[in-house]
Amino acid sequence: MVAGHNDSHFSLLEAIMIKDLIALTDVNGRKQLYQVEHIDIVDASAAQISLPADEANLVLITCYPFKNIGSQSNERVVITATPL
């Protein structure tokens, strides 16, 4: 799981769609491709987000809505991608 601000590194996630590909490169230069399977909007006050323990999914989380004017965001977008 990776979380980030939606007005900087994760701003590109505003345009992401189901079946899009995400390339992740580790510190050793190894690249892993993931395909977006789910995009969910959840309440920010939710204490837990259910993640399957037996899968190597990439989960990205950021505040929602994007370009929110104001200091508080009550929702989060959760993007789940599976390795290819």
Per residue in 3-28, pLDDT tens?
Answer: 777 877 788 899 999 999 999 998 99
pLDDT, one tens digit per residue, over 46-67 is: 766 776 666 789 999 988 888 7
Instruction: Give residues with Cβ within 8 angstroms of 21, minimum separation 6.
Output: 33, 34, 35, 36, 84
41 near 57, Cβ under 8 Å?
no
Architecture of domain 2-83: Beta Barrel (2.40)
Report the alpha-carbon distance of residue 66 to residue 23 in Å, rounded: 22
Tens digits of per-residue pLDDT, 24-33? 998 999 999 9
The single-letter code of the amino acid at 5 is H
Record the pTM.
0.84
For the record, the structure tokens of 79 come out as 């993007």
Is residue 12 classed as helix, strand or coil in its secondary structure? helix
